[in-house]
Structure 1
């Protein structure tokens, strides 16, 4: 058997070499895309998570007949449910409990508890008719929830918005989500009103 050593067969790249180059270019471009911040998309994702959970919680309150709450935390938010105390020693009314013999317990859907941590540079502001609450500053994890979801379908009316505390240009205009007393969600975009009501 004769082995050819002509230069005609030595031109170009092998398929393996081409595939290696394509894989390296793809990995490099993926690393570049992952390093670019996408706060606009991240903010929309956070809005969507909150809106979805609010709608689910309002529906869950009607289906189960339980009272649910939305509570701001220093680093995010959680959904809690009002439960009856099991022991006779804990029947007196506490600061966190609106009714003697009951306490707020972290809600769970299936195996998952409903607690969400916001990205480090995001702040959630919640405005009710009478008060303003900010995650990180006025949020108390031991306090009663700021928003209630009642079994009859009533919801504490409130507005909320998210802001990226590092992005000064986006501070003035944000999407504001309005939830009325029937749990109907509406979105508007405009100047942030920092006052309740």
Structure 2
């Protein structure tokens, strides 16, 4: 066996090991759609608050309830779209959708997200609204970084960006809405577009 054939075999073995330990069926389209949903949802929220006759939210008010519903719809549509696109790509690539790598990915992502969601609900119950946007960005960033071990490693850079935006949001809570738009809307579209470029090169 020549040295070139040996190196080729090593490369193939490395690729097989990488595929078996990482979930690689994520598509950039999932990120783009998530970003678009976030932008549309943010526009709806802005419209609701602007036409409510006040520029603040209260926990027992209908405005706050509409905003929460808006957030849940954004999350729901993002998850459903991601599952649909990812399942479709997995079938196209001839790989299993639900395997050990998928379970590791979901567990790593959901633990910080669930912990963050519970904490946010606790402070909202205490009528502390100012840091909600910052906490959403920070915990989401931590979830992405934690999950990056089991999927494309460059997703951690999106996580770092979300955390930085969250910290800025905590320092300047008055700009929380716009930083949320940048983090969940603009950055998802940018990252998803970069992933699509990488997919076309493969």
Q: Place the TM-score, normalised by the shorter chain, in its bin.
A: 0.3 to 0.5
TM-score by length of 1: 0.32
**Bigger radius of gyration:** 1
Structure with the higher fraction of residues in helix conformation? 2
Structure with the higher fraction of residues in strand conformation? 1
TM-score by length of 2: 0.32
